[in-house]
Chain A
Amino acid sequence: MAGLGSVCSRRLAGFVSLLLLVFVAVISASPDAATGANETLRRPSGHSLDDSHHPRNSSEHRKAFPVLAFNYEHVSKPFVISLWILLALLMKLGFHIIPRVSHIVPESCLLIFVGLLVGGVIKAMDQTPPVLDTKLFFLYLLPPIILDAGYFLPIRPFTENMGTILVFAVVGTLWNAFFIGGMMFAVCQIEAAQVGHVDLLSCLLFGSIISAVDPVAVLAVFEEIHINELLHILVFGESLLNDAVTVVLYHLFEEFAHEGTVTVGDALLGVVSFFVVSVGGVMVGVIYGVLGAFTSRFTSHSRVIEPLFVFLYSYMAYLSAEVFHLSGIMSLIACGVIMRPYVEANISHKSYTTIKYFLKMWSSVSETLIFIFLGVSTVEGPHNWNWIFVIFTLILCLLSRVLGVVGLTFIINKFRIIKLTKKDQFIVAYGGLRGAIAFSLGFLLTDTEKKDMFLTAIITVIFFTVFVQGMTIRPLVELLAVKKKKESKASINEEIHTQFLDHLLTGIEDICGHYGHHHWKDKLNRFNRTYVKKWLIAGDRSSEPQLISFYNKMEMKEAMMLVESGSAAKLPSLASAASLQNAQQRAPPKQRAIPSISKTREQEIRKILRANLQKTRQRLRSYSRHDLFSDPFEDSMSEIRFRKQRVQMERRMSHYLTVPANRQETPSARKVWFEPEHKVYTYDESESPRDGAALETLPDTVSLLSESPQRPDQSSRLRKRGDAEQSANAPDSQEEPQKLSRCFSDPGPKEEEEEEGEG
């Protein structure tokens, strides 16, 4: 009952907020209304000012001090922008209040719908709604999305399928453009259409605008359906790389649409231009990427501005490419890809998180705004609806896409090891969504008469692909049982074996005398290791092998997970506190921290502890976040108590850890694990000990606190004692319980002696 009530109240809240927001948007969109509000608001305060006016009549210079003033024009522009962004985000929030709808309809559709609504309302009030300005789109809204995509591009699948992606992007888009353009010209010749005035070049221009698969739309739809990596990277990679083709074709046809004819020389220049645009774009991106990586090498003293470097260099890459009419998207992607490995080796963990979240945030906002504006512009834009033109455009788009994909796959499969099946081809063809880029390019057209007609057709195609294809792709994926993305945990095994296999394959290639794929990859890696890394990565990280950084990252992730899940790890410290009392000088403060528990309660707790630690063993084996969370012990009543202790211990820990340890000597990770009966050890990050930021994160990452050590040498003394105890028992019998508590890998009891010898 309560549930039902809450559902109803949520729905109600959703609707109310929706209405409220539409209202707000309308207000903000209309400057006249705003000034009107100005007036009305001013009137009450006008009374108080009235007095001030009278004296003015009498004496020119005497004006009462305005207690309350209203000055909207001053802030109107940022105010409106912020209000729109707020509206967009509230919409996004609102959708998830109504879960059923958001499950069926992809977010992009909902956003366009909202845009339509808002646009309609604004229009009904006879105001002019803001249109998706091309400059706004290309300079402000598109880069964050592309940067987000490029920075987090999965490199391995991308490079493995590079050939396929390039063929689809270049040849596929060319095919689409010419097929659609040509066929539309034929259609335009039909008398009944009354579009005879559209000449071939304009048709080709139209074809080139509408043929490109749009990365924003693809991202928006494919994000939600979680198909397997291969298909995702194929469609997505294609949408990114076809930008070069689109840019060239668009400029080419636009130039010549005015001239009227295209000579062979121009066509050849077009081909040359394509190479210049794509390669030039990539090179610009690479230059900025290297600059960014180099800069990040020196940021160890001002960690706070690190993320800004990443963003600014990438944005500059985009803008610089746009200056020369090169492909900005490819430049941005190249910059992100090049920059990422080096920057990540240099920056602190917090900066990394910041970059990640800022990119996600900006791209999310951009995407939302784009779709809403698309809806608003649809309502606004001058339309010239021509049935035949639009219908044929739609049909031809679909047809050319299908033909293109099938034809190209037939050729590509001859060169691929893993063939693309019919299902794959279908998804690739179906996933060819058009989006806001096509709209913006259409908006840039100058010839008004055809522009309206083109725009109408473009919008129709966009709506069709986003609504119909976007909505139906999910059930189709289910229906066709397309392989979904496997949620796989990063596994050190996979990494080791993958590297091993790379070496093996390189070796075999050398034996066969074949300078193949692996040979060149190996050469590239060697070059990277010996030269590039030395220049671009600061400090001793520059010689860190990839496996080690991978391993460290994994360990850190798990440390944080364990800390967040909080509970079971903490408890043994409680139990061991008692046993450690004798050993430690610092025990007394700890005792104070531990609240007094009755004997029976303590027994109970220990029993539960032991039982849960058994379970934790299996859970730890699987290293899954969810398992750790669902620890039943959390439900116990002592949870709150332990949390309090944790806070206190962490405070103490941060105090201990800000004392710089002599850790420069051992880059090894000191392990943390817990023994039910024995001790607890400190954990050091094996990551760069040089930055203070790392120290700050340590209290978070330490899940257990050693009971005391004021300085790490004491901890080593602790360990020594631990060793003594352990060596007393057979080391093998310790293996089992140690294994169970293995949050991080640890070398075993023998290692302790070595470690502490160094520490």
Chain B
Amino acid sequence: MSVQMKQRGSGGGASKSRDLLQVTAQRSRQDSPPPPAGQPLPPLSVRAGEDNLRGGGGGRMGSGSSSLKHIPDGQQLMEETGFSAAHLLRLHERFDFLDKDGRGHLRPEDFEEIRELTENPIGGRIIAAFFPPEKERLDFPSFVRILAHFRPIGKNRSRDRAQPEQANSRTGKLKFAFELYDQDRDGKISREELLQVLRAMLGLQVTEEQLRSIAERAVQEADIDGDGAISFDEFKKSLEKVDMEHKMNIRFLK
């Protein structure tokens, strides 16, 4: 356990065994957790002070300026994902906020501290989706790349128009959702996997029978080639009437 960890304490509560500046910095950050866009960045500057105090992390501690200089590969990220500079900055702030130790990368525990996420039935899966298998670190570019899936499909800022391979195209979104179902990454959603999802979503209110019958029914409905599992194409087909553009969009990421 490093000194930093001790000083960090838990994200939610106030901790007394801390440097005063750190305490105030933490508190002010907690007071305004979601840094809305366009606001001047007081938390950031305070955090800057705190970061200096901690002295850890890399050289990309955010400063009060709104330039991309502090985000490594910022320009490249912008082009790749289609986010604007303002968005990237916001995401960066958020990344920093989640990254309480200032390590420069996120770990699953950081995500688990978001309270609402723990209440979310598929919270665990979402967290797992951010981390590639076997890796426990999430750096900023990967963070942004995953969130790019949820960017609304609109006029692209990048040079190339929305190609099917692009993250926020309809296929990209569907692929992301598919991978959330398909935990073992074999390219198919088996009955078992669907059953797990249903169990997570419906919880204890439903008997196993009902879950099974629903899972069975769902697989049966979607399964065209009769292999007993839902492949990506079948998944796409079963959702063709669902308005993906509307459903998988976070507006503020536009």
A residues within 8 Å of B by Cβ?
A: 160, 417-418, 486, 488, 491-494, 496-517, 519, 543-545, 547-548, 551, 621, 623, 666-669, 671, 686, 735, 739, 742, 744-748, 751, 754-755
Contacts and interface: CB of A to CB of B under 8 A. Distances in A.
Given A497-B238, A666-B209, A545 B202 contact: yes
A491 B177 CA distance: 18
Contacts of B98: 511
Contacts of A747: 209, 212-213, 216
Interface in B92-123: 94, 97-98, 111, 114, 116-117, 120-123
B218 A493 contact: yes
Contact of B209 (A418, A623, A754): A754
A491 B246 contact: no
B249 interface: yes
A160 B126 contact: no
B34 to A, nearest CB: 4
**Which 6 pairs show the lowest CB-CB distances between chains A and B?**
A745-B217, A668-B209, A513-B34, A493-B238, A745-B216, A507-B126
B159 interface: no
Contact of A504 (B153, B180, B252): B180
Contact of A512 (B201, B203, B243, B253): B253
Nearest to B200: A503
A686 B209 CA distance: 11
B143 to A, nearest CB: 9
Nearest to A686: B210
B166 interface: no
A496 B209 CA distance: 17
B246 A497 contact: no
Nearest to B90: A512
A500 B217 contact: no
Contacts of B250: 505, 508-509, 512, 514, 516
Interface string B217-229: 1101110000010
Nearest to A494: B242
A548 B126 contact: no
B198 interface: yes
A504 B122 contact: yes
A496 B198 contact: yes
A499 B214 CA distance: 14
A668 B214 CA distance: 11
Given A418-B246, A486-B241, A508-B250, 9 more contacts: A417-B152, A418-B245, A494-B239, A501-B177, A504-B180, A515-B34, A547-B198, A548-B206, A744-B217
A300 to B, nearest CB: 21
B147 interface: yes
A666 B170 CA distance: 41
Contacts of B76: none
B91 interface: yes
Nearest to A496: B218
Most chain A beta carbons < 10 A, residue from B181, B194, B220, B239: B220
A55 to B, nearest CB: 82
Most chain A beta carbons < 10 A, residue from B150, B152, B209, B218: B209
A417 B123 contact: no
Contacts of B212: 747, 751
A266 B251 CA distance: 39
A514 B194 CA distance: 29
Contacts of B209: 666, 668-669, 747, 751, 754-755
Contacts of A504: 122, 126, 177, 180, 248
A746 to B, nearest CB: 7
Secondary structure type dominating chain A contacts: helix
B221 A491 contact: yes
16 contacts: A493-B222, A494-B238, A500-B181, A507-B123, A507-B126, A508-B147, A508-B250, A509-B250, A511-B126, A516-B251, A544-B205, A669-B210, A686-B210, A742-B220, A746-B216, A748-B216
B55 interface: no
B33 interface: yes
A511 B114 contact: yes
Contacts of B126: 504, 507-508, 511
B220 A739 contact: yes
Given A497-B238, A548-B206, A623 B249 contact: no
Contacts of B194: 496
A627 to B, nearest CB: 15
A505 B126 CA distance: 10
B207 A668 contact: yes
B120 A503 contact: yes
Interface of B: 33-35, 91, 94, 97-98, 111, 114, 116-117, 120-123, 126, 147, 150, 152-154, 177, 180-181, 194, 197-198, 201-203, 205-210, 212-214, 216-218, 220-222, 228, 238-239, 241-243, 245-253
B242 to A, nearest CB: 6
B205 to A, nearest CB: 5
Contact of B246 (A160, A499, A667): A160
A513 B253 CA distance: 12
Contacts of B205: 543-545, 548
A632 to B, nearest CB: 24
A498 B147 contact: no
A207 B62 CA distance: 58
Most chain B beta carbons < 10 A, residue from A507, A667, A739: A507
A491 B248 CA distance: 19
Contact of B247 (A493, A501, A739, A744): A501
A500 B213 CA distance: 18
Most chain A beta carbons < 10 A, residue from B203, B214, B243, B249: B214
B249 to A, nearest CB: 6
Given A417-B152, A493-B239, A508-B150, A514 B34 contact: yes
Contacts of A742: 220
A548 B202 contact: yes
A519 B251 CA distance: 12
A547 B198 CA distance: 9
A551 B217 contact: yes
Contacts of B253: 512
A24 B198 CA distance: 62
A497 B207 contact: no
Contacts of B94: 511-513
B217 A501 contact: no
Nearest to B238: A493
Contacts of A513: 33-35, 94, 97
Nearest to B207: A668
A505 B117 contact: no
A517 B202 CA distance: 22
Nearest to A495: B218
A159 to B, nearest CB: 12
Contact of A745 (B203, B214, B228): B214
A498 B242 CA distance: 8
A502 B247 CA distance: 8
Nearest to A502: B247
A745 B114 contact: no
Most chain B beta carbons < 10 A, residue from A498, A668, A735, A739: A668
Contacts of A511: 94, 98, 111, 114, 117, 126, 147
A621 B220 CA distance: 8
A9 B69 CA distance: 86
B213 A505 contact: no
A177 to B, nearest CB: 32
Contact of B91 (A512, A735, A745): A512
Nearest to A519: B116
Nearest to B228: A735
Contacts of B216: 745-748
Contacts of A544: 205
A500 B150 contact: no
A734 to B, nearest CB: 13
Contacts of A508: 126, 147, 150, 250
Nearest to B143: A511
Contacts of B206: 545, 548
Contacts of A160: 246
Most chain B beta carbons < 10 A, residue from A491, A498, A515, A755: A491
